Structure 1
Amino acid sequence: MAKLIFLGSGSAFTVGANNFQSNLLLVTEQNHKLLIDCGSDIRLSLHAVGLSYLDITDIYISHQHSDHVGGLEYIAFSTLFDPRCQKPNIYLSKDVSSNLWDRTLSGGLRFIDGDIATINTFFEEHKIDRHGHFIWQEINFDLVKVCHVDNGFYLMPSYGLFFTLAGVKIFVSTDTQLCINTNGKYYEQADIIFHDCETSHYQTPVHANYEELAKLPITIKQKMWLYGYQPGLLPDAKKDGFCGFVECGQVFEFSLVQNHQLIV
């Protein structure tokens, strides 16, 4: 039985012991693990479910904000200097890769004793072409280009994922504005959607917010789980037609039972 574990379900600035940043762990029936994003509190969120860097062999990175890459330094140093570890694989779009080392990781990782490091010192990079995909443990992951931050000069590279587990089509938005006009086919085709959702009173333009998501057709909302929200009182998502808000540590299991998909 494959499962998705939400190591956290909060926003980038989630604080306190009750939630962490929205990083996911996909675990196959054979117990292979793919970490979907690796934020700055990954040490704590892994520990909360009884895991550590020793369990991280494969990582997908959607974009370069710290709640998605801030924990890579911890993974990099820990695995490099622990002889029990092999070099982790890291999967990411080429345009994310081109900036990840020079603009995000090199400041803390470049200098090691006796050498000048590169990203290949720590990770096996798997760069994904434009409109591309990657295959991990026989699962095909399509990268979905989303509009997260558009500064008017260029669009920050950011990618969600569309994949199938046990016959269930899954769309994980990662961080995005509501891109129903450009990515509507993924909302329609998915059997279950995990969508980031801003709930702050002081909304930003770079995330889908609850009010606009609530205006989506019921056929989409009834298969949508919300995550990436801010601390505080949450709206009644089930009353508004959604599956609900994902809780920290919540597990979604996917299996085939007598040719029927079962989601727990």
Structure 2
Amino acid sequence: MNLIPLGVGGAFTSRFYHNNYIAEIGTKKLLIDAGTTLRTSIKKAGYSYLDIDAVWISHLHSDHVGGLEELIFQRYWHLKNDIHHPMKTHIFVHQTIYPLLRQLLSFPLENGGATVDDFCDFTVVGDEEHINFEGLQLHIFDTSNTHIQGMASSGVFIRGPLGNVLFSSDVKDLQGANLMRFINTDTVAIFQDTSFTSNGAHALFSDILAYYPKEVQSKIYAMHYNDPIEDYVAAIEQAGIQYVKEREAMTFTLN
């Protein structure tokens, strides 16, 4: 699996693009979240909306879903030789988020007699289900109330026969999210949103070091971090963890 960070920043970043990714798995490309900076970040990374085979949406903050409407429209209204060749967008989503996402999309999409289903196909899953995607299993799990109280959210655990990767999405309450239940000797990477300043929505760097055992901290990739990341690189390196860099691809052998 090749993982390309389209961006690494948070909702209010003025330096980076939003914390969205493309996972190249086999012959297919999975877009991990679709923030408002997607229209620029996806082109900067050398991709287009038409390259995407499926999208996973973790939650409904604008830095994770604000660019989804444009992606859907651009794919649907795709022209080839001036002929309309509509491409529906396949969306993976947890069952707690699905009705909210569908309602959100209904406002721009449901007009002129059209419905959301004219533009999108959904795969809706619960915690005990998984999606088979090019030889890997995608387990989308509920993290509601652990990012912000009262907000539906989810993470994804990507598992193959040779290894697995955990993607936390946005989490403040690490204990409540119970992320360690996914970590085992086959884990090759833990993508964890990391804040270096006090806030009400994301785990602090110190909280992350306290939560994850020392023996797995070298597998942590800090993401969704503060703009002046250079101020914290020494602390990151001293702790032995890593941090994601915008458009710097990573390769993990999972199958």
TM superposition score category, shorter chain reference:
0.7 to 0.9
Q: TM-score, normalised by structure 2?
A: 0.87
Q: Does 1:43 align with 2:42?
A: no
Contact kept in structure 2, 1:57 and 1:86, CA below 8 Å: no
Q: Does 1:210 align with 2:205?
A: yes
- Within-5 A mapping of 1:253-264: 253-255=251-253
How many corresponding residue pairs? Answer: 243
Q: In 2, Cα distance between the equivalents of 1:116 and 1:97?
A: 22
Q: In 1, Cα distance between the equivalents of 2:227 and 2:127?
A: 36
- Within-5 A mapping of 1:158-173: 158-165=153-160, 167-173=162-168
The unaligned stretches of length 5 or more in structure 2 are 79-83
Equivalent of 1:220 in 216, 226, 231: 216
- 1:150 Cα offset (Å): 4.3
- 1:163 Cα offset (Å): 1.3
AA paired with 1:44?
Answer: T
Contact kept in structure 2, 1:141 and 1:163, CA below 8 Å: yes
Q: In 2, Cα distance between the equivalents of 1:94 and 1:255?
A: 29
Kindly tell me: are residues 186 and 129 of structure 1, through their superposed partners in 2, closer, same or farther at Cα, counting changes over 3 Å?
closer
Contact kept in structure 1, 2:138 and 2:156, CA below 8 Å: yes
- 1:221 Cα offset (Å): 1.2
Q: In 1, Cα distance between the equivalents of 2:146 and 2:88?
A: 30
Secondary structure in 2 matching 1:222 = helix
Q: In 2, Cα distance between the equivalents of 1:212 and 1:254?
A: 26
**Sequence identity (%):** 26
Kindly tell me: are residues 27 and 219 of structure 1, through their superposed partners in 2, closer, same or farther at Cα, counting changes over 3 Å?
same
Q: Does 1:136 align with 2:133?
A: yes
Equivalent of 1:64 in 60, 65, 88: 60
Q: In 1, Cα distance between the equivalents of 2:117 and 2:153?
A: 22
Q: In 2, Cα distance between the equivalents of 1:58 and 1:179?
A: 28
Q: In 2, Cα distance between the equivalents of 1:234 and 1:214?
A: 18
Tell me what 1:78 maps to: 74
Q: TM-score, normalised by structure 1?
A: 0.84
The unaligned stretches of length 5 or more in structure 1 are none
Tell me what 1:94 maps to: 95
4+ residue segments displaced more than 6 Å: none
Tell me what 1:247 maps to: 245
Secondary structure in 1 matching 2:8 = coil
Q: Deviations along 1:214-241, whole A, 9 cap, x unmatched?
A: 3343212111010001211441211122
- 1:93 Cα offset (Å): 1.1
